[in-house]
Structure 1
Amino acid sequence: MTAFDKLMAFQRETSALGQIAGRLGWDQETVMPRGAAPQRAEEMAAIEAVLHARRSDPRVAEWLDQAAPQDEVGKAQLREIRRAYDRAVKVPADLATAIARTTSAAQGTWAQARADEDVSAFVPVLEEVVSLKRQEGEALAQGGDVYDAMVEDYEPYTTGAQIAAIFDEMRPRLVALRAAVLERPEPAALTGSFDELTQMRLTQKLAVAFGYDLNNGRVDKAVHPFSSGSGLDVRITTRTSETDPFNCFFSTIHEVGHAAYEQGIDRDYLLTPLGRGVSMGVHESQSRIYENQLGRSRAFTGWLFDQMKDAFGDFGIADADAFYATVNRVHNGYIRTEADEVQYNLHIMLRFDLERALMAGDLQVNELEAAWNDRFKADFGYAVDKPSNGCLQDVHWSVGLFGYFPTYSLGNVYAGCLYQALRAAVPGLDAQLADGDTSGATAWLREHVQQHGGLYAPREIIRRASGIEPGPEPLLDYLEQKFSGLYGL
């Protein structure tokens, strides 16, 4: 075996162990008994110790120095292995293990605090998480910006300053559009009761309609919807509310976007660094374009309206046009995952600024609730009514995902670029979506984005697929056109 062959065999074993760790996480959020949390924390810490040892194994450096890849794919594999190795060796093993143990336990503490509306119960464990993640960020940054080092985990080759510049460009047009829309009459909201088992049956149908392969996946319920796994085992979760089936349906479509990306990657890359999505921003581009540009389109909501009538009978919305307006209703609300397209990115900007301040030490954890509430009031014009609608609503910080939140909005930006190209490439798109057929869109995304996995850097894959330099203009143009039409602006 050549050095390259030895390196790739070692990487496949490491990736397989990583998938096992991911499956433990899936189990914890779906079916694990609550009382098992302390043991699961030790299990996660144990497997992280093994993974960290492999990721920082000195043999990896030797193989990297000796490897001679013969093609573009081999060079990309080495690029990603070297990037991961250079990061792994900077983080002490005991710190990596402590983070895994603490974040596993913190997830359960967050869920209970959220249910109890008790921020004080969550503050001590979040302080531990923040302290550990700061230590990790300092180790990775080696004198540079701690938050930049964290962003690198989720959006390689991107800095906090670059993200802030994109957000500064987006904010004025988003705020102006929101102000104009909120001056207009609000479409009717969905009311009534919707059987949750019926929601789950319809959500399975939606998952399949968007190309999710249930032979290699499954749909379960969790407190916070997520997608887990890659390759031949890619699972998603959703959640139900008796009064809000849209939460279930569009969470499912969103997570199917993530899952379809992983299922669509070239199988030759299975269990290698290229065998997963290249970044969370590109991942979010898939979930957001599935959920919004496709799932909330006039064409597709017409089909969904008929499906809901078949499933629930008359549910109080007169026709498909009224249903389209209801699906895309711009309204006051607290929850990021339930936010309309106009206001969603403002929720992300709030979290981005707060977590940057936490990592810089400019904001302390015991000040977070007040800082969140003040910023929310300033940005949205009304007060947070309870912690589960405020700083306890998201799971991300409890599990140490600092640097993750901005990738949601980067995903929206990338989705805007992709959708512009998609519409030009698939001229019959609306007619297909009106029949519940997403295959034209999803096949284009699979060909131009998904199959490549980690072969190209994040901005490069968007540039190749869309034909333009990634930027927020296509997204903002799409939003202004869509909501000007909906609200008669």
Structure 2
Amino acid sequence: MLTNSAYAELMAHQRETEALGQVAGRLGWDQETMMPRGSGDQRAEEMSAMEGVLHARRTDPRIADWLVRAEQEGVGAVDPVAAAQLRHIRRSYDRMTRVPGRLAQELARVTSKGQGVWAAARAADDIPAFLPVLSEVIRLRQEEADCLAAGRTRYDALMDDYEPGATAETIGAMFDRMRPRLVALRERVLGSGKVVPKLEGNFPEAAQMALTRKLADAFGYDWNRGRIDLAVHPFSSGSGDDSRITTRVVESDPFNCFYSTIHEVGHSCYELGIDPAYRLTPLGAGVSMGVHESQSRIYENQLGRSRAFTGWLHGQMQHAFGPLNVTDPAAFYATVNRVQPGYIRTEADEVHYNLHIMMRFDLERALIAGDLLPGDLEAAWNDRFKADFGVAVDRPRHGMLQDVHWSCGLFGYFPTYTLGNVYAGCLNVALRQAVPDVEAHLAQGDARPATAWLHQNLQTHGGLYEPREVVARACGFEPSEGPLLDYLDAKFGEIYGV
């Protein structure tokens, strides 16, 4: 790096901004895990104040001058890392300067408060208690989208925060290509007549959490730079040398805990695996949520729900909980991957999961466009769910109150889950070609050869490349939905004999 240069000055400013962003993230983690329940209003004001400081730093007029001078210095022309840093900073500056500081702070305050309101409403199945804050979040995000749109739709402007370059048109076209094969597979599976047993019993919290730590170990989670806690909705938080995960426990359903944990370990390992040279810079975090979800989903599904790994997990569960009602490892593999049209997205099997996302994608686009009013969301959700899944929603926590995302203002985030599944399908093909003995390791409860390949070929790059580029580089081919759909057809065709 050039000392006493515009680029050096810019990166010094950016490093402090990134550090403050990590502090803000820690406040959010604390709110979901440790904060006393009565502290929500004060925390909302703290988050608003922190966002005011961050917004001021991200829109500092000196950034525009530093960017011009850094370009004149030519540092980006000779250093690809510097070029990528400048690309990210320029993109952030262009977006942030379009959003008034007042709006940024109000969004931080309302979404922080909204998470607590949502959690209480979800527990009480009380949609009317949630609607006022949801309406306010949507209004503020619509206002923000109008600031950012620059000729685009509101939804495209918001989605750019999570998946730069993606549009509702391209995502919608991908969903249209995927839906027929997913629905056809579901119909074959549910019409097969094969009965896959459900795991039954009581699985105490302490034993679940002890096995959860073993699962994180199996995927190479670094406890020196991470920790696990309980939350209403599992998430991961942080980057660099501090990336934490959460899970949740349902004593009648240990898979909820185990696969939420593996999912969040995937997110966290991505952040912990980024080149240390990028720490506290724009390159020091996952490049997009679609790429992020590719890591959590391949950890959870292609590795964690594989025949080899579930064989190991079956033995571990018998050791932790005693005899199971599913006694055979082959039957247990089918149980882990049991297909049923359940209510909850995070508990959905791989056949149904993307259909959950497609429903949310359509609903939130309508909300942001103003075509669907918050007061009409429950009816719209329930009607669409019955049409897509053939089951009537029985209570709000199984319907529109199940996900935390809208209370946080994360409109445009949901489609990245399916995009992550698509990327994971591609990465799985490349991984198994590169690590041909991966199944033997998974059968021993060791996913580290697989995760090491993901670290070396994708995670270490952080934000160096654009989202699709980093996946294509790792795979050796352009990503598409084909590998994911082929994987699902083969896996569930075998399990259900169709």
TM-score range, shorter chain: over 0.9
Residue 487 of structure 1 deviates from its aligned partner by 0.4
What RMSD over aligned residues (CA atoms) do the two structures have, in Å?
0.6
Alignment-mate amino acid for residue 159 of structure 1: T
1:144 & 1:165 partners in 2: Cα distance?
Answer: 17
Structure 2 counterpart of 1:471, from 464, 471, 480: 480
Structure 2 counterpart of 1:160, from 156, 168, 171: 168
Partner SS for 1:237: strand
Residue 90, structure 1, aligned to residue 98, structure 2:
yes
1:186 & 1:17 partners in 2: Cα distance?
Answer: 53
Structure 1 counterpart of 2:130, from 99, 122, 144: 122
Structure 1 counterpart of 2:298, from 289, 293, 313: 289
CA-to-aligned-CA distance 1:282-339 (integer Å, 9 cap, x gap): 0000000000000000000000011101101102111110110100000121000000
Partner of 2:54: 51
Alignment-mate amino acid for residue 284 of structure 2: G
Partner of 1:131: 139
Give the TM-score normalised by the residue count of structure 1: 0.99
Residue 175, structure 1, aligned to residue 183, structure 2:
yes
Runs of 4+ in 1 over 4 A off after TM superposition: none
Say if 1:110 and 1:395, in contact at 8 Å, map to a contact too.
yes
Say if 1:186 and 1:331, in contact at 8 Å, map to a contact too.
no
Residue 143 of structure 1 deviates from its aligned partner by 3.5
Alignment-mate amino acid for residue 258 of structure 1: H
Counting matched residue pairs gives 489
Say if 1:186 and 1:329, in contact at 8 Å, map to a contact too.
no
Question: What are structure 2's unaligned runs of at least 5 residues?
Answer: none
2:152 & 2:181 partners in 1: Cα distance?
Answer: 33
Partner SS for 2:224: helix
Residue 467 of structure 1 deviates from its aligned partner by 1.3
Partner of 1:218: 227
Partner of 1:3: 6
Structure 1 counterpart of 2:381, from 372, 397, 422: 372
1:295 & 1:439 partners in 2: Cα distance?
Answer: 12
Residue 22, structure 1, aligned to residue 29, structure 2:
no
Partner SS for 2:102: helix
Partner of 2:446: 437
Partner of 2:81: 73
Say if 1:193 and 1:243, in contact at 8 Å, map to a contact too.
yes
Percent of aligned pairs with the same amino acid: 67
Alignment-mate amino acid for residue 12 of structure 2: A
Partner SS for 2:161: helix
CA-to-aligned-CA distance 1:173-210 (integer Å, 9 cap, x gap): 00000000001223000101001110001001111110
CA-to-aligned-CA distance 1:203-253 (integer Å, 9 cap, x gap): 011111101100000000000000000000000000001100000000000
CA-to-aligned-CA distance 1:327-356 (integer Å, 9 cap, x gap): 000012100000000000000000000000
CA-to-aligned-CA distance 1:31-73 (integer Å, 9 cap, x gap): 1001000000000000000000000110011100111323100
Structure 2 counterpart of 1:244, from 253, 267, 271: 253
Residue 477 of structure 1 deviates from its aligned partner by 0.1
Residue 309, structure 1, aligned to residue 318, structure 2:
yes
Residue 142 of structure 1 deviates from its aligned partner by 2.7
Say if 2:341 and 2:352, in contact at 8 Å, map to a contact too.
no
Say if 1:228 and 1:235, in contact at 8 Å, map to a contact too.
yes
Partner SS for 1:401: coil
2:335 & 2:325 partners in 1: Cα distance?
Answer: 11
Say if 1:247 and 1:338, in contact at 8 Å, map to a contact too.
yes
CA-to-aligned-CA distance 1:120-161 (integer Å, 9 cap, x gap): 110111000000000000100133211001000000011111
Partner of 2:334: 325
Alignment-mate amino acid for residue 263 of structure 1: L
Say if 2:239 and 2:272, in contact at 8 Å, map to a contact too.
yes
Partner SS for 1:153: coil
Say if 1:225 and 1:237, in contact at 8 Å, map to a contact too.
yes
1:46 & 1:315 partners in 2: Cα distance?
Answer: 51
Residue 233, structure 1, aligned to residue 242, structure 2:
yes
Q: List aligned pairs for 1:105-120, cutoff 5 A.
A: 105-120=113-128
Partner SS for 1:220: strand
Residue 440 of structure 1 deviates from its aligned partner by 1.3
Say if 2:7 and 2:66, in contact at 8 Å, map to a contact too.
yes
1:241 & 1:382 partners in 2: Cα distance?
Answer: 22
Say if 2:226 and 2:242, in contact at 8 Å, map to a contact too.
yes
Say if 2:305 and 2:337, in contact at 8 Å, map to a contact too.
yes
2:365 & 2:477 partners in 1: Cα distance?
Answer: 30
Alignment-mate amino acid for residue 216 of structure 1: R
Residue 170 of structure 1 deviates from its aligned partner by 0.4
CA-to-aligned-CA distance 1:248-291 (integer Å, 9 cap, x gap): 00000000000000000000000000000000000000000000
Say if 1:234 and 1:259, in contact at 8 Å, map to a contact too.
yes
Say if 1:237 and 1:255, in contact at 8 Å, map to a contact too.
yes
1:270 & 1:124 partners in 2: Cα distance?
Answer: 39
1:206 & 1:11 partners in 2: Cα distance?
Answer: 36
Residue 146, structure 1, aligned to residue 154, structure 2:
yes
Residue 462, structure 1, aligned to residue 471, structure 2:
yes
2:96 & 2:237 partners in 1: Cα distance?
Answer: 22
Say if 1:253 and 1:287, in contact at 8 Å, map to a contact too.
yes
Alignment-mate amino acid for residue 458 of structure 2: V
Partner of 1:206: 215
Residue 270, structure 1, aligned to residue 279, structure 2:
yes
Residue 469 of structure 1 deviates from its aligned partner by 1.2
Residue 168 of structure 1 deviates from its aligned partner by 0.4
2:20 & 2:187 partners in 1: Cα distance?
Answer: 49
Give the TM-score normalised by the residue count of structure 2: 0.98
1:30 & 1:137 partners in 2: Cα distance?
Answer: 30
Partner of 2:38: 35
Structure 2 counterpart of 1:354, from 363, 372, 375: 363
2:324 & 2:341 partners in 1: Cα distance?
Answer: 22
Residue 112 of structure 1 deviates from its aligned partner by 0.6
Residue 486, structure 1, aligned to residue 495, structure 2:
yes
